[in-house]
Chains A and B, each alone.
Chain A
């Protein structure tokens, strides 16, 4: 009995095409629809770009984590991780960054000379937070991440094709890579999103974004593996132990996200210093508060309860549903993190959706292309049947 082949690549190419088309049309409508407030346009753009870039960064983090720890669960899904963070995906994000640089004065207080002249704090951050160094850092960050992604994929392919084990070297490189990755991603989001607030800062911001991205990537992975469980090649590996391990990792990441978010809120709420509370005042103003409260439910309580249940992890389709639920909800969280900085009344604008679809289309299309390059599962090593047995 031969099961049907999982055509994940085709699915993503189709979805990507549709999203791209719809996104282009809606963006066109949005842009031509009337005179634009450049600040709001830039705000929508940063949201859409950040959400999908975090997914790419999340996949890169998981790729490195897999190579560094070599847990059993990783071998079946590492191809998805690699495709989600391929050099191409990072390049798409890098190109998407260009408009942000062009719109910098509409996004960043430090890029508005008048504001800097009146603000000793922004002056104190010069020249670090000046346009030239900021843009140069972005180039360096992308270059480093692309190099990491490229080297990991190359080394992994080499072992797969030649059969000569080189994982020990890759494992050490991945551990070093994780160190570099954490630092780069931390400083990147400080530059790209945190510095949109003129004075506010939070030391956990970088870790918070890393965990948010990893959670997104886990959600999407779970959705793919769970929904394709009866098709080639996942029919051989979507066994209870894999779903259980992936589910537990997703549970741990969900808890970590909740832990960081709660601690950050509690510390700022308790300290009650104006510099820090500004961030949460904007996010508890009017209806934003309800989005925030809803996120506690959808990003923590619901997935937490679902992922605790052992029964759920035995049902691949339910598992895929939970993964998808987590994945979709991450977009609401990014919306909550990014948008209120420049929008006091809650509301979804046409361009938020249009640009999200546009970037989503690009992301899915590149994911589909990347998946075509190599089989979905690496067979050579280790023997999957043995893996399933040894658990």
Chain B
């Protein structure tokens, strides 16, 4: 079934679970101090300050939403102006064809509709969802990452990646369930 791509299991990373967000943050800082750069953390609640350690800040969403909102406003306004002057111009209650105050509500609603859609689907797309299976789910510890464990993962893409060394490091930092994760067959 291979399409020329090697789909045999490969190293994905080393994970270790911590009990509290503070422990996770401390561990991430120490791992970073050891010179590792490719990390991610998995937690049941957002951990304040973790991005400053592992990197990956992404501010694109705000711009996407702003662009979508502006598009929505223009689209709503264009729709109304075009239909009531060109496509289907008719006099209603003696009001001008372009009744600016009366066109505002629909333009306003379409602004919000476009912007909210962009915020939701933009977030989902930027997060790479939907993606029901991810290699990191192969780790035992990940089952509780949505409940009460704070999991740190040093990824195999790290230039200094060395499984035994990282495992030892995580263990020394007090992590439970330290484990090297491989990707699934065929993934």
Contacts and interface: CB of A to CB of B under 8 A. Distances in A.
Q: A and B: direct contact (Cβ < 8 Å)? A: yes
Q: Which 10 A-B pairs have the closest CB atoms?
A: A266-B101, A269-B101, A265-B101, A270-B102, A266-B102, A262-B101, A262-B104, A272-B93, A272-B94, A266-B104
A266 B102 CA distance: 7
Contacts of B102: 266, 270
Contacts of A262: 101, 104
Interface residues of B, number: 5
Nearest to B101: A266
| Binding site secondary structure of chain A | helix
Given A266-B102, A270-B101, 9 more contacts: A262-B101, A262-B104, A265-B101, A266-B101, A266-B104, A269-B101, A270-B102, A272-B93, A272-B94
Interface string B99-112: 00110100000000
A272 B104 CA distance: 18
Contacts of B104: 262, 266
Interface of B: 93-94, 101-102, 104
**Residue from B93, B94, B101, B104 with most neighbouring chain A CB atoms (10 Å):** B101
Contacts of A272: 93-94
A262 B103 CA distance: 12
11 contacts: A262-B101, A262-B104, A265-B101, A266-B101, A266-B102, A266-B104, A269-B101, A270-B101, A270-B102, A272-B93, A272-B94
A272 to B, nearest CB: 8
Interface string A247-271: 0000000000000001001100110
Contacts of A269: 101
A270 B102 CA distance: 8
A270 B96 CA distance: 11
Contacts of B93: 272
Interface in A231-288: 262, 265-266, 269-270, 272
A339 B102 CA distance: 27
A266 B103 CA distance: 11
A272 B101 CA distance: 13
